[in-house]
Amino acid sequence: MNQHVKAEIAEPVHIRPTATEDVVRLVGLKRSFGATAALDGVSLTVRKGEILGIIGRSGAGKSTLIRCLNGLERPDSGQVFIESREIGRLSERDLQPLRRRIGMVFQHFNLLSAKTVEENVALPLKIEGKPKAERLARAAELLQLVGLSEKAKAYPASLSGGQKQRVGIARALAARPALLLSDEATSALDPETTRSILALLKDINSRLGLTILLITHEMEVIRSIADRVAVIDAGRIVEEGAVWQVFADPKSEITRSLLGAIRPQLPPEIAGRLVAGEGAETILKVDVAGDAARGPLLSDLSASVPGPIRLVHGGIDHVQQQPVGTLFLAVPDSGGLAQTIAFLKDRGARVEVLGHVAGPV
């Protein structure tokens, strides 16, 4: 199978719209189960043509949020707007056409084992009452898009996990939705397959202008393809912004914790030597992004502040084409610490004193 096969399909390529066009708008959403508040006043927008990632730990409220979006849960209070239409008071019958505007990609694929790949992809159109010829033509277009044309007559049991998820994505696109909801779509996949699925979603977003909302607990998924990220914790949105800005300067403790798996951390052999009092060297954590990370920061620092300041760990990464870095510096306690901190802050860096070590690291 060639997973990189691309195909022109029926939809026109969209120009990126302005940020004022919202496909989803949530206003003060609340939903409780007994004494437990699953959602506690969530307000959020998903703009047309963007990829928004919603990230949080298990139990944070992600699943309840997605069920409120597709009308499977009714909020206790607040409003859910899909393409400017408030869905909270719609009957089940009136919700059906709206649900066709929302495609769903699931963690465990949810394919029907007794149906072929093309029948699985065409199923939403069959439910909608479309003629068989139209259904099969659309399925063929979408299987070509996801690189699985040769698997049209196969059954799900013969597919790999990545192939099953590609079928799930094709099925979610069958009815030409305005919004694609991805609910932990890569959590059951290995890293290489995850990368290929995320690349496919990014390609679909770019080529079709399709709005995508990603629900995940993995920061690497957010980093890979999202435009914006919203962090949910205990049913509340605790942080929101462009991905590179949130990565560069996380405001909440939960965001810093989630970033811990993919951002540089002080090596344990150095962290284990830190003490609160004075020592031979002070260890600084320096977060830089944008212009502060583009220039010769360390060489300028060495030229401006006397003393053997050393980089002991860290580096510069790129998120959304923006440099984002975390550096760990060792600064002699004998002098220059205050100057070093002042210099770094003046350059736009965020500086944290982690502690002191008795000897060189």
73 neighbors 263 (Cβ within 8 angstroms):
no
Q: How far is CA 240 from its chain centroid?
A: 12
CA distance 288 to 318: 11
Residue-wise pLDDT for 30-77, tens only, equals 999 999 999 999 999 999 999 999 999 989 999 899 999 988 889 999
Model pLDDT, residue 121? 97
Q: Assess whether pLDDT exceeds 90 at residue 79.
A: yes
Percent of the chain with pLDDT over 90: 68
Tokens of 146: 């996801």
Model pLDDT, residue 120? 97
Domain boundaries, the chain: 22-259, 270-357
CA distance 12 to 209: 9
Task: Return the closest-CA partner of residue 105 out of 163, 153, 58, 171.
Answer: 171
352 neighbors 282 (Cβ within 8 angstroms):
no
Task: Return the closest-CA partner of residue 267 out of 205, 325, 234, 312.
Answer: 312
Burial degree of 72 (CB within 10 A; 0-12, 13-18, 19+):
exposed
Q: Work out the average pLDDT over 228-239.
A: 96
Looking at per-residue pLDDT, the higher value among 117 and 359 belongs to 117
Residue-wise pLDDT for 236-272, tens only, equals 999 999 999 999 889 999 999 999 888 889 999 999 9
Looking at per-residue pLDDT, the higher value among 292 and 164 belongs to 164
Model pLDDT, residue 99? 86
Can you name the residues that pair with 33 across neighbouring β-strands? Answer: 36
Q: Assess whether pLDDT exceeds 90 at residue 188.
A: no
HSE of 7, CA atoms in CB hemisphere, 13 A: 18
pLDDT band at 295 (very low <50, low <70, confident <90, very high): confident
Tokens of 273: 């030597």
Can you name the residues that pair with 332 across neighbouring β-strands? Answer: 281
173 neighbors 142 (Cβ within 8 angstroms):
yes
Q: Whole-model pTM?
A: 0.85
What is the layout of strands, in order, in the sheet containing 310-319? 310-319, 322-332, 281-289, 350-357
Q: Work out the average pLDDT over 219-242.
A: 95
Distances (CA, A) of 7 to 59, 143, 215, 292: 39, 9, 27, 41
Task: Return the closest-CA partner of residue 53 out of 145, 177, 183.
Answer: 183
pLDDT band at 91 (very low <50, low <70, confident <90, very high): confident
Residue-wise pLDDT for 326-356, tens only, equals 999 999 877 788 999 999 999 999 999 999 9
Task: Return the closest-CA partner of residue 361 out of 316, 334, 329, 333.
Answer: 329
pLDDT band at 211 (very low <50, low <70, confident <90, very high): very high
At the top level of CATH, which class does the domain 270-357 belong to?
A: alpha beta
Model pLDDT, residue 88? 83
Q: 22-259 has which fold?
A: Rossmann fold (3.40.50)
